[in-house]
A and B are shown apart, each in its own frame.
Chain A
């Protein structure tokens, strides 16, 4: 069953703790993306990776970190430095960077209390 998988679907953390969101794809896609979705603000790009072992900051990278050690995996860590981490996080991948269809995971809703 091919696709892009995010886990978990819901995640609760205490304020001040780092938390890592998982994103795995078996589509053999080179590019992967992390977006944050808040009501009325659309999808804002956190980080993206065009190829394994490389990634770039998006528009709202502060307080987040990523790694791309394997082509299939692009985990996102929400650090304690992120001032407003409660949000819905979407991971996506595409065959090549930019001008091809992006396939999204089902998302992770993170709540920090």
Chain B
């Protein structure tokens, strides 16, 4: 089955700096890679996603890149703000349409 690994588990950056979270997946048939943000005490919500026929996607300060050959995908947040502080989860959808999540990255943006 699909295995999604996510690094780092915690990340602290200063306001205005960039943050990068990396994930790898095991199922070469995976074709959809969403990223979710979970603020403290709230439910996870989709912030951006990418499909296997695209190498990069950007939405304002957030971008995601996908390297299918290496089975890597990454989330990039530029000009970080305090409200970006949260737990971020990557996920992959592979065989049998299973939505498998990584273990999460706790991002702390300090002033």
Contacts and interface: CB of A to CB of B under 8 A. Distances in A.
Interface of A: 31, 33, 35, 40-45, 48, 50, 56, 58-59, 90, 92, 94, 97-99, 101-102, 104-107
A97 to B, nearest CB: 4
Given A40-B9, A42-B89, A43-B89, A101 B101 contact: no
A45 B102 contact: no
Interface of B: 1, 6, 9, 31-32, 34, 42-46, 49, 51, 89, 93, 96-104
A106 B45 CA distance: 11
Contacts of A42: 6, 89, 101-104
B49 A101 contact: yes
A107 B43 contact: yes
Nearest to B93: A98
A14 to B, nearest CB: 27
A99 B31 CA distance: 8
Nearest to A94: B99
B99 A104 contact: no
A98 B102 contact: no
B98 A45 contact: yes
A97 B43 CA distance: 20
Contacts of A35: 101
B45 A99 contact: no
B44 A90 contact: yes
Contacts of A104: 43-45
B99 A48 contact: yes
A97 B49 CA distance: 15
Nearest to B46: A101
Nearest to B102: A42
Contacts of B97: 31, 50, 97-99
B43 A105 contact: yes
